[in-house]
Chains A and B, each alone.
Chain A
Amino acid sequence: MNSNTDFTLAIEDLTVSFDGFKAVDSLNFYLDQNELHVVIGPNGAGKTTVLDLICGKTKSTSGSIKFLNEELTKMSEHEIVRAGVGRKFQTPSIYENLTVLENLEISYPYGRTVAGSLMFKRSSKVLEKINQTASEIMLQDDLDTEAGLLSHGQKQWLEIGMLLIQDPQLLMLDEPVAGMSVKEREQTAELLNKISKGRSVLVIEHDMEFVERIAHKVTVLHQGKILAAGNMEEVQNDPKVIEVYLGH
Chain B
Amino acid sequence: MNFVYEKMMGGKKGLTGFLILATLILVIFPLFLDIFRLNLVGKYLTYAFPAVSLVLLWGYGGILSLGQGVFFGLGGYGMAMFLKLEASSVENTKIQSTPGIPDFMDWNQLTSLPWFWEPFNSLTLTILAILILPAAFAYIIGAAMFKRRVGGVYFAIITQVIAVILTILIVGQQGFTGGINGITDLRTLNGWDITTDSAKYIFYFINVALLLSVILISRLILTSKFGSLLLAIRDKEDRVRFSGYDVSNFKIFIFCFSALISSIGGAMFTLQVGFMSPSFVGIVPSIEMVIFAAVGGRMSLIGAIYGTLLINFGKTAFSESFPELWLFLMGGLFISVVMFFPNGLAGLWDDYGHYITDRFSKSKKTKEDSPEIVKKKSDESAA
Q: Which residues of A contact B (CB under 8 A)?
A: 55, 57, 76-78, 81-82, 86-87, 89, 93-98, 102, 105-107, 109, 111-114, 117-120, 162, 166
B253 is an interface residue with CB less than 8 A from chain A: yes
Stretch from B18-26, B226-234, B273-281, B331-339 forming part of the interface with A: B226-234
28 contacts between A and B (CB under 8 A): A57-B238, A77-B242, A78-B242, A78-B245, A81-B241, A82-B244, A86-B242, A89-B239, A93-B236, A93-B239, A94-B239, A95-B239, A96-B235, A97-B231, A97-B235, A105-B225, A106-B225, A106-B232, A112-B244, A114-B226, A114-B253, A117-B226, A117-B229, A119-B224, A120-B224, A120-B225, A162-B239, A166-B243
Beyond A78-B242, A93-B239, A111-B225, 11 extra complex contacts between A and B, CB < 8 Å: A87-B242, A89-B238, A93-B236, A93-B238, A95-B228, A96-B235, A97-B231, A112-B245, A118-B221, A120-B225, A166-B243
Taken together as a complex, chains A and B put the C-alpha atoms of A197 and B221 apart, in Å, by: 39
| CB-based nearest A residue for B253 | A114
Verify A55–B242 contact, CB threshold 8 A. yes
B158 is an interface residue with CB less than 8 A from chain A: no
**Chain A residues with CB under 8 A of B242:** 55, 57, 77-78, 81, 86-87, 89
B137 is an interface residue with CB less than 8 A from chain A: no
Taken together as a complex, chains A and B put the C-alpha atoms of A96 and B253 apart, in Å, by: 24
Min Cβ gap B242→A in Å is: 5
What total count of A-B pairs have CB within 8 Å? 77
Nearest 3 A/B pairs, CB to CB: A81-B244, A120-B225, A117-B226
| CB-based nearest B residue for A168 | B244
From B226, B231, B244, B246, A98 is in contact (CB under 8 Å) with B231
Given contacts A114-B249, A117-B226, A117-B229, contact A94 B221 (CB under 8 A): no
Q: Which residues of B contact A (CB under 8 A)?
A: 221, 224-226, 228-229, 231-232, 235-236, 238-247, 249-250, 253
**Chain A residues with CB under 8 A of B235:** 95-97
Min Cβ gap A157→B in Å is: 15
Min Cβ gap A183→B in Å is: 27
Verify B240–A106 contact, CB threshold 8 A. yes
**Chain B residues with CB under 8 A of A95:** 228, 231-232, 235-236, 239
Taken together as a complex, chains A and B put the C-alpha atoms of A33 and B322 apart, in Å, by: 75
Most chain B beta-carbon contacts within 10 A, residue among A89, A105, A117: A117
Taken together as a complex, chains A and B put the C-alpha atoms of A119 and B221 apart, in Å, by: 10
Verify A98–B241 contact, CB threshold 8 A. no
Min Cβ gap A176→B in Å is: 15
**Chain B residues with CB under 8 A of A109:** 244
**Chain B residues with CB under 8 A of A97:** 231, 235
Given contacts A95-B239, A98-B231, contact A117 B225 (CB under 8 A): yes
| CB-based nearest B residue for A163 | B243
Min Cβ gap B61→A in Å is: 13
Taken together as a complex, chains A and B put the C-alpha atoms of A86 and B240 apart, in Å, by: 12
Verify B224–A117 contact, CB threshold 8 A. yes
Min Cβ gap A83→B in Å is: 9
Taken together as a complex, chains A and B put the C-alpha atoms of A77 and B244 apart, in Å, by: 7
Taken together as a complex, chains A and B put the C-alpha atoms of A98 and B247 apart, in Å, by: 18
From A57, A119, A120, A166, B244 is in contact (CB under 8 Å) with A166
Taken together as a complex, chains A and B put the C-alpha atoms of A118 and B249 apart, in Å, by: 13
| CB-based nearest A residue for B247 | A78
| CB-based nearest B residue for A107 | B243
Verify A113–B249 contact, CB threshold 8 A. yes
Taken together as a complex, chains A and B put the C-alpha atoms of A228 and B239 apart, in Å, by: 32
| CB-based nearest B residue for A84 | B244
| CB-based nearest A residue for B251 | A114
Verify A106–B228 contact, CB threshold 8 A. yes
Taken together as a complex, chains A and B put the C-alpha atoms of A78 and B221 apart, in Å, by: 23
Taken together as a complex, chains A and B put the C-alpha atoms of A181 and B250 apart, in Å, by: 38
**Chain A residues with CB under 8 A of B224:** 117-120
| CB-based nearest A residue for B230 | A117
Min Cβ gap A132→B in Å is: 18
**Chain A residues with CB under 8 A of B232:** 95, 98, 106
From A76, A105, A114, B228 is in contact (CB under 8 Å) with A105
Verify A78–B236 contact, CB threshold 8 A. no
Most chain B beta-carbon contacts within 10 A, residue among A82, A98, A106, A166: A106
Given contacts A120-B224, A120-B225, contact A78 B244 (CB under 8 A): yes
**Chain A residues with CB under 8 A of B236:** 93-95
**Chain A residues with CB under 8 A of B243:** 81, 106-107, 162, 166
| CB-based nearest B residue for A76 | B246
Taken together as a complex, chains A and B put the C-alpha atoms of A14 and B243 apart, in Å, by: 25
